Amino acid sequence: MKRAKRITIKDIAEHAGVSKSTVSLVLQNSPLIPEGTSEKVRKSIDALGYVYNRAAANLRTRRSHIVGVIISDIGNPFFSELVTSMENSLEPHGIVVMLTNIAENPERQRKAIATLMEHNVDGLFLSPARNATIDDLGPLKNSSIPAVFVNRYIPDYACNYVGGDNVLGTRMAVEYLLDQGHREIAFIGGDEGSSSRKERVQGYLDAFRKSGIEPPAGLNILTTGNRKGGYSGIRSLLDEGVRPTAAFCYNDVIALGVMLGLESRGIKPGGDFAVFGFDDISEAELWTPSLSTVAISPETLGKRAAALLLEKIENNSTNERILVSPRLMIRESSGDSL
Amino acid sequence: MKRAKRITIKDIAEHAGVSKSTVSLVLQNSPLIPEGTSEKVRKSIDALGYVYNRAAANLRTRRSHIVGVIISDIGNPFFSELVTSMENSLEPHGIVVMLTNIAENPERQRKAIATLMEHNVDGLFLSPARNATIDDLGPLKNSSIPAVFVNRYIPDYACNYVGGDNVLGTRMAVEYLLDQGHREIAFIGGDEGSSSRKERVQGYLDAFRKSGIEPPAGLNILTTGNRKGGYSGIRSLLDEGVRPTAAFCYNDVIALGVMLGLESRGIKPGGDFAVFGFDDISEAELWTPSLSTVAISPETLGKRAAALLLEKIENNSTNERILVSPRLMIRESSGDSL
DNA sequence: GTGTTTAATTGGAACGTTACAATGAGTACG
DNA sequence: CGTACTCATTGTAACGTTCCAATTAAACAC
């Protein structure tokens, strides 16, 4: 079956009795073209069912109107909300999103970057895989294409960055717990090496230090970043006989798992035990008990990131680093004071 | 700032002392090229930091290696899992995904289709907006580009389709509830006009009919498709004084809302009241009580859809309609028999 | 009328790749 | 030694746009 011949600008030029240059000008609605001509051309466009070929135009203009989005783990609702927000902010500018999920795999990240660059993206959002290093940036690292790192960044690599203020957010939450009278506060979850975990631990320690209280020992544990991680994390902690009164969790998903784990041991989160999360994913509010958490709205993050990238695409100036301040969402899971 | 001159196939041809045709052949690792030459070329590629320009190639080959994905609502985890699965199946084929979220808006759907077609996608996945009609397909409807409708389709429009078997799945669930002794079974949620709601209602009625039982009146209500919809839906039903003993919900998200709504009225889902969902999103299993539901795994759906689209891209044959059979996931929320 | 300005239109060279037909250099055969 | 092959390589015309310089047409001033 012969592939149907594509209708091109040239065909519609013939049909309308003008040159292809004129058609091109109409397409970009240039002020040079008087109403009469452009209407004639538009009629031919409808008549022949022409569809614009952006790839061809791209070749000439060096602007693809595509941005790449590389996400470490779309399974996580935080990231899917983030992507949605980016897409929403970009769509009005006629920019379309190429999405790649790398499932925390540096190898895939590398490949994704290469592929997106081959597709000529105008810019790139990158939420790098955990443990990714400069080498996992592939051809991006000595290219001039605008990139914005979101939510995570790569140590020792100068870049545009938009993220929540991890240190501040965690400190606020832990200070809140301290105010409530808690002392044995566990830090649960996340895995080593991620920059944001480091920052959150930092905030956790800062809160103690600023209050002149010695942080408890043996209560800082690593887990995988999903519900199961939180679930088994808290259980193994309890199994060791340690009995904290509160837990600050690396993120909401883990916190939900922690709550399930507590319940499975007959401990009532929000009643007997205070639980704090981080992210404010949409489940947080609707869970029973509702989850107290540090809100860095993925929506704001996406908006800021989009604005920043658009600006960098326009005029590629120096790198910027934007920290959006978190808000404390106090709900049922953090309970009343002791 | 002058935009850095792009390194092209021509530059590396010069550098390697061959013609650009040869370089092109190396790039496609053609068997015509002996090891020596290709190695020489590859060295130049590394040395100059060349990156392949797919848009240019595309112009010649008419294959973009892009597929478009249009999703009615990515906020819904079912769809984000679906997208993830598609992306995973496509990535090994060197195909990249262009994602557009249309937020159930037919206007945006139309625009999305047009934009993706301008970008020359090799194929299209489409989960159409509710109430979308043939007209909302824009240029797609008389184009020959392979499209696969997923999870929803447009009435009276011949197309490739991959979806769960809504009728069967719902019938299985409602038959289960009937077996348990329930008679006053509500059908909650979804909004009118969506084809999948119609099918699920169909299955609901079929179950009654096949058992020779008259379906209850006044228990079939519409809601918005999110948690809030389920929450307020069941509450307003209870407010009217109706007292069903079980609810089949249009989807899991609504079912979770229904459970919250029941609890807010002192009714214990799983104990006093049986709740069934549809979709088996990942929360279903982890909620308390865990949600009984009809599982159409978005992962399988995505895989099947990807396979189908790939095949259609290879050889555009006649339309196919694939229904994947659901599985019943019996968990706590459907309780014990009455 | 002629010359000058302004407004519309157009030809053709890019953009970076691939595909095809053509060329050249070996090698083998009779 | 000429012919016929094979194997590597290459020149060049596409692909569908945009952009620039050039052309034509129309409008105006004197």
Question: Alpha-carbon distance B176 to B86, whole Å?
Answer: 32
Mutate to test the interface with B, among A52, A73, A262 (most CBs of B within 10 A): A52
Confidence of residue A2 (pLDDT cuts 50, 70, 90): very low
Ordered DSSP codes for B156-174: T---EEEEE-HHHHHHHHH
Distance from CA of A321 to the nearest CA of B (A): 22
Distance B48 CA to C22 C1' (A): 31
Contact B288 A288 (CB under 8 A): yes
Instruction: Using the CA of A58, give the nucleotide whose C1' is nearest.
Output: D17
Q: Which nucleotides of D are covered by protein (CB under 7 A)?
A: 7-12, 14-20
Question: How much is the pLDDT for A1?
Answer: 39
CA torsion B314-B315-B317-B321 (nearest 10°) is -20
Tokens (6 digits) for A32: 């040079």
| C1' (C2) to CA (A35) span, angstroms | 32
Distance between CA atoms of residues A54 and A63, nearest Å: 9
Tell me the pLDDT tens digit for each residue of A100-111.
Answer: 999 999 999 999
Write the Ramachandran bin of A218: left for phi over 0, alpha for psi from -120 to 50, otherwise beta.
left
**Residue A4: pLDDT over 80:** no
Hey, are the CB atoms on B260 and A117 less than 8 Å from each other? no
Tell me if A294 sits within 8 A of A329, measured CB to CB.
yes
Query: Nearest nucleotide by C1' from B62 CA?
Result: D15
pLDDT computed for residue B43 by the predictor: 96
Distance from CA of A81 to the nearest CA of B (A): 7
Calculate the CA dihedral of residues A72, B100, B146, B77 and round it to 10 degrees.
60
Among A278, A282, A285, CA closest to A327: A278
Mutate to test the interface with A, among B120, B145, B290, B333 (most CBs of A within 10 A): B120
Partner-chain contact B96 A98, CB within 8 Å: yes
Q: Give me the amino acid identity at A311.
A: E
Of A80, A118, A120, the CB nearest to B74: A80
Six-digit token string for B104: 């159930």
pLDDT of residue A338: 63
Residue A94: count of CB within 10 angstroms of its CB: 11
The DSSP 8-state label assigned to residue A128 in this structure reads: P
Query: Is A27's CB less than 7 Å from nucleic acid strand D?
Result: yes
Q: How far is CA A211 from the centre of its chain?
A: 33
CA atoms of A338 and A270, how far apart (whole Å)? 11
CA–C1' A48–C28 (A): 58
Q: Write the DSSP assignment of A249-273 as a string of letters.
A: ESSHHHHHHHHHHHHHTT--BTTTB
Q: Before B106, cis peptide (omega within 30)?
A: no
Contact check, Cβ <8 Å, A97/B98: yes
ω before B289 within 30° of 0 (cis)? yes
User: What pLDDT is recorded for position B337?
Assistant: 61
Angle at B57 between CA B53 and CA B62, to 5 degrees: 140
Is A54 within 8 Å of B118 when comparing Cβ atoms? yes
CA distance B59 to chain A (A): 6
Q: Are B250 and B226 in contact (CB under 8 A)?
A: no
- Tokens 């307020």 correspond to B232
Residues near strand C (C-beta below 7 A) are A 18-22, 25, 32-34, 37, 56, 59-60; B 6, 8-10, 20-21, 24, 27-28, 50, 52-53, 56-57, 59-61
Question: What is the C-alpha separation between B292 and B284, in angstroms, rounded?
Answer: 7
Question: Which residues 31 to 90 of B reach strand D, CB within 7 A?
Answer: 32-34, 37, 56, 59-60
Q: How confident is the model at residue A66 (pLDDT cuts 50, 70, 90)?
A: very high
- The pLDDT value recorded for residue B193 is 75
The whole-angstrom separation of Cα A14 and Cα A124 is 39
Contact indicator for A282, A77 with CB cutoff of 8 Å = yes
The total of other beta-carbon atoms located within 10 Å of residue B327's CB is: 14
B64: closest CA among A115, A94, A109?
Answer: A115
Q: Are A100 and B91 within 8 A, CB to CB?
A: yes
Q: What is the pLDDT of residues A232-247, one digit of tens each?
A: 999 999 999 989 999 9
Smallest CA-to-CA distance from B315 within A314, A146, A1, A107 is with A1
- Is the CB of B139 less than 8 angstroms away from the CB of A4? no
- Is the shortest CB-to-strand distance from A10 to strand D under 7 Å? yes
Report whether A94 contacts A313 (CB < 8 A): no
pLDDT of residue A76: 81
Give the residues of chain B that fall short of pLDDT 50. Answer: 1-3
Tell me if B170 sits within 8 A of B215, measured CB to CB.
no
Q: What is the predicted pLDDT for the residue at B74?
A: 86
User: Where on strand C do bases come within 7 A of a protein Cβ?
Assistant: 7-12, 14-20
Is B120 in contact with A53 (Cβ distance < 8 A)? yes
Q: In chain B, whose CA is at the least distance from the CA of A261?
A: B286
The C-alpha atoms of residue B181 and residue B337 are separated, in whole angstroms, by 6
Q: Which residue has its C-alpha nearest to nucleotide D18's C1'?
A: A60
| End-to-end Cα spacing for chain B | 76
Nearest Cβ partner for A96 among B58, B119, B256: B119
Using a CB-CB cut-off of 8 Å, the residues of chain A touching B54 are: 118-120
d(C-alpha A100, C-alpha A103), whole Å = 9
Which residues are CB-neighbours of A267 under 8 A, at least 6 positions away? A238, A273
Query: Would the CB atoms of A101 and B117 count as touching at under 8 Å?
Result: no
Residues 6+ apart with CB under 8 A from B163: B149, B150, B151, B152, B153, B196, B296, B301, B322, B323, B324
- At residue B270's C-alpha, the angle toward residues B240 and A277, to 5°, is 100
Task: Please tell me the pTM assigned to this model.
Answer: 0.86
